[in-house]
Amino acid sequence: FGVQTINSVVVNYCIDGGDTVSRRWTGTLVGGDTTVFTGGTGVTLEAGFHNLVAWTSDTLTVGTALIRDHEPLNNASNVNNPDDVSFIVCTGPMSGVVNVGGENADYNNMYEFLLTLSRCGVDDSLVVKLCSDSVYGPFEMPAVFGTTEEHYVWFEPSGERVKFVSDGGATPYIANMAEASNVHLRNIDFVRRSGALTNMVVLGINSNDCHFEGCTFTDSASSATSAIEAMIASDHANNVYVKGCTVKGGNKGVDISGRTLELRSTGATVERCYFSGQDTSAVQVQYMDNVSVQKNEMYDVASNTSYVLMANGCYGNVRIMANKIYTTHGAGELGVGKLFGTQSNRAIVANNM
């Protein structure tokens, strides 16, 4: 903002690093005031994420006199960060397959993709291919309109695996999915390298039907770093599905819990997973309806006052079956309390060893 009234100035802009477009603005802009500049019409852009950089020339018209701007450093829209001014073009909801990261990507990074997804939504299933050569940092999955059990967002690597890592403690999670529903993740590795994390993956009461298949969750931080409370924390989510995953470390491996005995969540599956290195419990399920924990391998916990597998306050179709549980430090293998089945939906605890 200047002091003198400006009557004319050349405004320049470019989109996505393309050609510079220059337009002259004329009017009356008094000192300390703002105005709206329209850069032009008929601009056609592809659907997706775009960057805009805009700046003014340092020669201004005051009345009929041409003067030089004495403070040109504030003439650009985003002097410090070219990504600060961004916008999304939507031609409709998303579907099909998109590529994030790497060569020939539809989106350069997760930030660009997730911002676009949050604005455009989906009208069918969307497969997101993540570049296997990239290492991704923490992310927050937005609420996405249009997702259902049949229309989900599926993340998977473009090759065999892809990795998400902690950022040294600046963010208390690697994946925050508390507002996301119908999100599936396959063959993704989550790793804490350093810094404090509260939970590695965070779900929430709005996180319906989130699936983890073939993923790994690993705490690689030094022993002096505080333990992660849970590698997956459902935090009252419904229909959490964890299958074929490897979970190493954490105070708890998978914590699937409703709010209270009276305010239970429903539907959870933990199946064919491998657990090791937890402090308190490999799997904890409590205040849930219709939960299945079957065919997992659970290796010891550090505490001698807890249970490797604990189930409490669960109703309906409960299946705690065929789990292999190993313990050498004095912890109990299996702790079960307040399981309530019905004649048609029995609670069954069987064939665990």
**In the prediction, which pLDDT does 346 show?**
85
pLDDT at 79: 46
DSSP β-bridge partners for residue 326: 299
Q: What is the pLDDT of residues 145-160, one digit of tens each?
A: 999 999 999 999 999 9
pTM: 0.82
pLDDT tens, the chain, 353 aa long: 567 788 888 888 888 888 888 888 888 888 888 888 887 777 778 877 888 888 888 777 776 667 766 555 555 555 445 446 777 788 789 999 999 998 889 999 999 999 999 999 999 999 999 998 889 999 999 999 999 999 999 999 999 999 999 988 789 999 999 999 999 999 999 999 988 899 999 999 999 999 999 999 999 887 767 889 999 999 899 999 999 999 999 999 999 999 999 999 999 999 999 999 999 999 999 999 999 999 999 998 888 778 999 999 999 999 999 999 998 877 888 999 889 888 888 889 999 88
Say what the pLDDT of residue 145 is.
93
pLDDT tens-digit series, residues 262-287:
999 999 999 999 999 999 999 999 99
- Residue 198 pLDDT: 93
